[in-house]
């Protein structure tokens, strides 16, 4: 369902953008034609047609900018990917043994959290496309991290693979993720959000100005200049915003920010469990973390050493934790 809806909303973006740009350019052409050779009834017809087209485009632009089709499509792509990931985890759970009632409840809660993070309907459930502040996406239930304390590994090695050095390493990695990766994506997310807000206001505003100018064609040279120029600028703004899929970029930053937040919470929840026997195996946990950050184990340990050295020197580390994003 999420894949189908995502494809539909991606089609919306393409079709609406093409329609709006063609309507805007047609209205600008009519306004120019009215100023050049329009007289009497022909002038009135061209002015009226141009004004109506500009007015329709202004209304359609407001709707487009409100729902952000490219962002809606990206939301559904992320939802489809995360549901596939959840399905794979369920298969693994079934392959390892008989799931318990707690496992069933955990999966249900994760499904509900995904539905809340990436809703299918538009009316009444659509995510706010222009929040006051950038916030990472959250698609996992808060109690999921508590349940990780109950995970056990059969292979017990050096206190379930954990040591004091590994705990220090995990804390350093968590600090780098928090101070470098998360902060950088928060900065970029806020920047894209501001750009998108400006573009969302500029498109309908320019089209409205063009409509007023078109209605006044025939009363001097300035109305036609305003009508044509504002229409051309509106087309440029719409092409940049929706053709460049600025909303999709914002959603991509939200998802990546959520990935880093989940990473931090996972490490923190694991380290808070003082009984190492109740944690996930330390060596396996370290390997999974390295893979998620796009690093080898040696690179992950080098990063932790660099972070510790920077803290001792009182300087900021000049390297990001993730090599994937």
Does the pTM of the predicted model rise above 0.75? yes
What mean pLDDT is predicted for residues 189-211?
96
The full 3-state SS of 143-196, as one line of letters, equals HHHHHHHHCCCCCCCCCCCCCHHHHHHHHHHHHHHHHHHHHHHHHHHHHHHHHH
Distances (CA, A) of 162 to 16, 78, 158, 304: 55, 33, 6, 16
Element (H, E) at 219: none
Least confident of 5-9, 149-153, 195-199, 306-310: 149-153
Spatial distance between the Cα atoms of 26 and 19, rounded to a whole number of angstroms:
11
State the Cα torsion 140-142-147-148 to the nearest 10°: 60
Q: How far apart are CA 111 and CA 103, in angstroms?
A: 12
Query: Could you tell me if 323 and 295 are in contact, meaning their C-beta atoms sit under 8 angstroms apart?
Result: yes
**Residue range 150-175: average pLDDT?**
74
Q: If you average pLDDT over residues 68-92, what whole number do you get? A: 95
- 88-102 per-position pLDDT tens digit: 999 999 998 888 898
Q: Which residue has the higher pLDDT, 146 or 174?
A: 174
188-191 contacts, C-beta under 8 A, 24 or more apart: 188/253, 189/134, 189/136, 189/250, 189/253, 189/254, 189/257, 190/133, 190/134
Q: What is the pLDDT of residues 215-231, one digit of tens each?
A: 998 888 889 999 999 99
Handedness of CA 139, 143, 144, 145 (dihedral sign): positive
Q: Where are the domains of the chain?
A: 1-313
**Closest to 170 measured CA to CA, from 319, 309, 283:** 283
Alpha carbons 110 and 219: distance in angstroms, whole number = 63
Taking only the tens place, the pLDDT of each residue in 132-156 is 999 999 999 874 444 444 444 444 4
- Burial of residue 135, with CB atoms counted within 10 A of its CB: 0-12 exposed, 13-18 middle, 19 or more buried: middle
Percent of the chain whose predicted confidence (pLDDT) is above 90:
70
Q: Please write the tens of the pLDDT for every residue from 25-38.
A: 999 999 988 888 76
pLDDT of residue 158: 58
Residues 243 and 64: their CA atoms lie apart, in Å, by: 12
pLDDT in tens, 258-278: 999 999 999 998 888 877 777
Q: How far apart, in whole angstroms, are the C-alpha atoms of residue 227 and residue 25?
A: 11
Chain-wide mean pLDDT for the chain? 89
What does the alpha-carbon distance between residue 65 and residue 71 come to, in Å, rounded to a whole number?
A: 10
């Amino acid at each position: 369902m999420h894949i189908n809806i995502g494809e539909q909303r991606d089609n919306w973006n393409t079709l609406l953008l093409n329609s709006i740009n063609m309507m805007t350019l047609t209205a600008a052409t009519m306004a120019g034609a009215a100023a050049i050779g329009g007289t009497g009834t022909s002038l009135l017809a061209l002015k009226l047609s141009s004004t109506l087209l500009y007015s329709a485009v202004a209304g359609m632009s407001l709707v487009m900018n409100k729902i952000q089709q490219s962002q809606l499509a990206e939301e559904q792509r992320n939802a489809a990917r995360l549901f596939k990931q959840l399905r794979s985890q369920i298969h693994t759970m079934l392959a390892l043994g008989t799931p318990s009632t707690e496992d069933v409840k955990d999966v249900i809660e994760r499904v509900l959290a995904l539905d809340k993070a990436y809703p299918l309907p538009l009316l009444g459930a659509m995510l706010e496309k222009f929040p006051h502040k950038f916030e990472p996406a959250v698609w996992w239930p808060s109690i999921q991290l508590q349940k990780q304390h109950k995970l056990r590994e059969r292979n017990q090695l050096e206190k379930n693979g954990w040591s004091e050095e590994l705990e220090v390493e995990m804390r350093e990695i968590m600090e780098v993720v928090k101070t470098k990766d998360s902060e950088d994506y928060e900065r970029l997310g806020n920047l894209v959000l501001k750009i998108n807000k400006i573009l969302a206001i500029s498109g309908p505003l320019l089209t409205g100005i063009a409509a007023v100018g078109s209605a006044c064609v025939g009363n001097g040279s300035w109305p036609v200049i305003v009508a044509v120029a504002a229409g051309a600028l509106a087309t440029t703004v719409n092409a940049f915003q929706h053709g460049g899929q600025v909303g999709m970029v914002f959603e991509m930053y939200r998802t990546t920010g959520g990935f880093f937040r989940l990473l931090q919470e996972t490490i923190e929840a694991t380290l808070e469990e003082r009984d190492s026997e109740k944690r996930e195996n330390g060596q396996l946990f370290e390997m999974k973390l390295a893979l998620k950050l796009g690093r080898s184990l040696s690179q992950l340990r080098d990063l932790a050493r660099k972070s510790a050295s920077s803290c001792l020197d009182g300087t900021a580390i000049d390297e990001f934790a993730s090599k994937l994003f």
